[in-house]
Amino acid sequence: MQWQDTGIVLSTRPHGETSLVVELMTRAHGRHLGLVRGGRSRRHAAMLQPGNGVEAVWRARLDDQLGSFALEPAEMRAARLIETPAGTFGVRTLAAHLKLLAEREPHPLLHDLLAVVLDHVDDPLEAGALMVRFELVLLDELGFGLDLTACAVTGEAGDLAFVSPRSGRAVGRVAGAEWADRLLPLPRFLVDRTVNARPDAGEIAEGLALSAFFLDRSVLGPRGLSLPPERERLTAALARGHAGAAAATDGRL
């Protein structure tokens, strides 16, 4: 058995004295593990850091075996990611999220979005919104997607302001006004990207709270799990970075 694919390193664990079991998010073969012989050597150390992109060849005698990887570097992101708290906590959060997927089940959209988020996770002005969108796509891929296209009450697509915590459907500002205290805020950047392509810190916080609520209720809670602690640290790091960027912008005005 053999295949070739692009992948992103999620994690590694020791195997024997010299090798590593490497977990990749591959484009066509999903979250996949394989043995890298000699992976603990200095020669492989830089390539096998979480967040790096690789070209992978997987081989095994039988399809259900662990198999082995032959890897070549493609996108060396790790050195940049570890320079900031947002980068460090971001890659760990993403890796934890992807463990919710069944092994070897293809999710090409999540692979591509993972690469985009990793390329911007150290930018506080973009990373928060990208993380929210990644988590919403993850929910959709797991079968628990939200419907933010139209109001659940009126069917109209304009002026959406809330999300029902029961149905996961959007609700219009007027239709939901009476029950606003029971509904979740819907940040504008999720429904109107042209007007609000770069959301402020408050909108990002609302988006992260929205995706966290449904991840916990629909996916993590039923499995007896909780959000990874790195996500809370990522949220705090993004808030600090956003505040710092805003202060720098105000200082230039």
Number of domains in the chain: 2
Q: How far is CA 233 from CA 89, 121, 152, in A?
A: 7, 13, 34
What does the alpha-carbon distance between residue 43 and residue 23 come to, in Å, rounded to a whole number? 18
Both 67 and 91 in one domain: the answer is no
E strand or H helix that includes residue 176: helix 173-176
Both 18 and 143 in one domain: the answer is no
Both 132 and 226 in one domain: the answer is yes
Is residue 210 one of the residues assigned to a domain? yes
Provide the sign of the torsion angle of the four alpha carbons 200, 206, 207, 209, taken in this order: positive
What does the alpha-carbon distance between residue 6 and residue 26 come to, in Å, rounded to a whole number? 6
Both 14 and 130 in one domain: the answer is no
- Which of 55, 76, 97 terminates a domain? The answer is 76
What does the alpha-carbon distance between residue 35 and residue 37 come to, in Å, rounded to a whole number? 6
Over the stretch 100-148, which tens digit does the pLDDT of each residue have?
A: 999 999 999 999 999 999 999 878 778 999 999 999 999 999 999 999 9
Please, what is the average pLDDT of the chain? 93
What does the alpha-carbon distance between residue 117 and residue 175 come to, in Å, rounded to a whole number? 34
Both 44 and 142 in one domain: the answer is no
Is residue 174 one of the residues assigned to a domain? no
Nearest to 231 by CA among 220, 222, 218: 220
Over the stretch 234-247, which tens digit does the pLDDT of each residue have?
A: 999 988 887 776 66
Predicted confidence at residue 246, as pLDDT, reads: 63
Is residue 157 one of the residues assigned to a domain? no
Predicted confidence at residue 126, as pLDDT, reads: 87
Is residue 47 one of the residues assigned to a domain? yes
Is residue 56 one of the residues assigned to a domain? yes
Both 34 and 105 in one domain: the answer is no
- Per residue of the chain (253 residues), what is the pLDDT tens digit? 999 999 999 999 999 999 999 999 999 999 999 999 999 999 899 999 999 999 999 999 998 899 999 999 999 999 999 999 999 999 999 999 999 999 999 999 999 999 999 999 878 778 999 999 999 999 999 999 999 999 999 999 989 999 999 999 999 999 999 999 999 999 999 987 665 557 888 999 999 999 999 999 999 999 999 999 999 999 999 888 877 766 665 556 5
- Which of 16, 43, 76 terminates a domain? The answer is 76
Is residue 155 one of the residues assigned to a domain? no
Both 230 and 202 in one domain: the answer is yes
Predicted confidence at residue 241, as pLDDT, reads: 82
Q: How far is CA 103 from CA 24, 30, 72, 98, 182, in A?
A: 10, 7, 22, 10, 37
Both 113 and 208 in one domain: the answer is yes
